[in-house]
């Protein structure tokens, strides 16, 4: 029997979860609590159109691993576009290790699926389960069907530009940009600049927050990715106006942290540096990014 993992939205209380359980039972679902988390249910068929559904995952397999290579071998059976992992702290590997080890043997397939991988340690064994995000599968199918209509004008970019933040100083900054990634369906790059404090903050946030983090990549600095983009910086020292911003090709918008803003060395590598408004007061990175994305949305 196929099983589906129902991740409940964060606003669902314990009593509301019990009501949802009863509602599904009354609608002839086979439903049980998930022993891996109190915020989840296991059901026997997919469900749509409910606000309490944060995500729905078709579970493919569960097993206990002897080593990480065993898990990579299991993953190799699937066509994978992206791996999203939820791994407990006591497990002797993390999401980046899984992705890096997988990419040493395989390649991501743009026509593949987003794979869900969860691991926890129990009785000295590492338990793993693998599934497929149903929402991501449907979005991918829909995107392929509408691919021609999304590219009516040659060279026109119909979605939002990717984003980057340089050496985020606070956990709030990290969280804001992860939410941008999920909300606007864009990639977010977090630049560490080999800053130990910044890297520790990033790792702490990712460990303590288990919600879907979107497409986030951690890199050292802008040099790692600048050849893939037209890079546009944002700073109170910028000389260009927001009205000059045109998204005509693959574009990356980069913002500085709350402590010191964008580094001059980074600004020197941007095709332009934009200042929002005329105030001498600097905006926070999330404020500048929100204002810019709102401006781009209003132009569509």
Same domain, 161 and 135: no
Place of tokens 């990480």: 68
**Structural domain boundaries enclosing 99:** 3-139
Same domain, 51 and 82: yes
Q: What is the pLDDT of residues 40-55, one digit of tens each?
A: 999 999 988 788 888 8
pTM of the predicted model as reported, rounded to 2 decimal places: 0.52
Given a cut of 70, is residue 148 above it in pLDDT?
A: no
Query: Is 144 a domain residue?
Result: no
Same domain, 106 and 164: no
Given a cut of 90, is residue 31 above it in pLDDT?
A: yes
Query: Is 274 a domain residue?
Result: yes
CATH code, 80? 3.30.2130
Same domain, 47 and 184: no
Query: Is 145 a domain residue?
Result: no
pLDDT of residue 67: 92
Same domain, 113 and 21: yes
Q: What is the pLDDT of residues 242-277, one digit of tens each?
A: 888 888 668 999 999 888 888 888 999 999 999 987
pLDDT band at 219; cut points 50, 70, 90: confident
Q: What is the pLDDT of residues 179-202, one digit of tens each?
A: 888 788 888 998 988 877 777 777
Query: Is 147 a domain residue?
Result: no
Same domain, 21 and 126: yes
Same domain, 129 and 212: no
Query: Is 34 a domain residue?
Result: yes
pLDDT of residue 158: 46
pLDDT band at 212; cut points 50, 70, 90: low
Same domain, 225 and 273: yes
Same domain, 229 and 175: yes
Same domain, 189 and 287: yes
Query: Is 74 a domain residue?
Result: yes
pLDDT of residue 284: 87
Query: Of 104, 139, 174, which marks where a domain is finished?
Result: 139
Same domain, 18 and 157: no
Query: Is 261 a domain residue?
Result: yes
Q: What is the pLDDT of residues 220-238, one digit of tens each?
A: 889 988 888 999 999 988 8
pLDDT of residue 260: 80
Given a cut of 70, is residue 101 above it in pLDDT?
A: yes
pLDDT band at 297; cut points 50, 70, 90: confident
User: Which structure tokens are listed for 119?
Assistant: 């691991």
Same domain, 156 and 129: no
Given a cut of 70, is residue 140 above it in pLDDT?
A: no
Query: Of 98, 115, 139, which marks where a domain is finished?
Result: 139
DSSP letters for the chain = --EEEEEEPTT--HHHHHHHHHHHHHTT--EEE-TT-TTEEEESS---S-TTEEEEEEEEEEEEESSHHHHHHHHTTS-EEEEEEEE-TTSS--HHHHHHHHHHH----TTSEEEEEEEEEETTEEEEEEEEEHHHHHHHHHHHHTTTGGG-STT---SPPEEEEES--SHHHHHHHHHHHHHHT-EEEEE-TT-HHHHHHHHHHHHH--S---EEEEESSGGGTGGGSEEEEE-TT--B-GGG----SSEEEEE-BTTTBS-HHHHTTSSEEE--SS-SSPPPHHHHHHHHHHHHHHH-
pLDDT of residue 300: 62
Query: Of 139, 166, 182, which marks where a domain is finished?
Result: 139
Q: What is the pLDDT of residues 150-177, one digit of tens each?
A: 443 333 444 689 999 998 878 888 888 8
Query: Is 146 a domain residue?
Result: no
Given a cut of 90, is residue 111 above it in pLDDT?
A: no
pLDDT of residue 147: 44
pLDDT of residue 176: 87
User: Percentage of the chain surpassing pLDDT 90?
Assistant: 40
CATH code, 295? 3.40.1280.10
Please count the structural domains in the chain: 2
């Amino acid at each position: 029997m196929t099983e589906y993992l129902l991740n409940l939205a964060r606003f669902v209380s314990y009593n509301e979860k019990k009501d949802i359980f009863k509602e599904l039972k009354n609608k002839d679902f086979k439903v049980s609590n998930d022993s891996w988390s109190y915020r989840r249910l296991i059901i026997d068929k997919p469900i749509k159109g409910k606000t309490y559904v944060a995500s729905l995952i078709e579970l493919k397999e569960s097993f206990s691993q002897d080593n990480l290579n065993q898990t990579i071998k299991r993953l190799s059976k699937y066509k994978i576009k992206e791996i999203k992992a939820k791994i407990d702290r006591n497990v002797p590997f993390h999401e980046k290790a899984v992705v890096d080890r997988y990419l040493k043997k395989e390649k991501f397939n743009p026509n593949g699926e987003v794979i869900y991988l969860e691991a926890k340690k129990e009785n000295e064994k590492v338990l793993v389960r693998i599934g497929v995000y149903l929402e991501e599968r449907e979005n991918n199918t829909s995107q392929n069907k509408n691919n021609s209509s999304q590219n009516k004008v040659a060279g026109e970019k119909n979605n939002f530009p990717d984003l980057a933040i340089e050496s985020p100083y606070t956990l709030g900054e990290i969280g804001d940009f992860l939410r941008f990634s999920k909300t606007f369906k864009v990639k977010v790059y977090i630049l560490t600049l080999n800053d130990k404090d910044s890297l520790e903050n990033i790792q702490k946030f990712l460990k303590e927050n288990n919600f879907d983090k979107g497409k986030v990549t951690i890199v050292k600095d802008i040099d790692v990715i600048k050849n893939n983009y037209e890079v546009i910086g944002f700073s109170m020292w910028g000389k260009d106006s927001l009205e000059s911003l045109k998204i005509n090709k693959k574009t990356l918008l980069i913002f500085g942290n709350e402590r010191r803003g964008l580094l001059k060395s980074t600004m020197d590598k941007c095709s332009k540096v934009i200042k929002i408004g005329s105030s001498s007061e600097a905006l926070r990175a999330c404020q500048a990014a929100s204002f810019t994305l709102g401006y781009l949305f209003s132009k569509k």
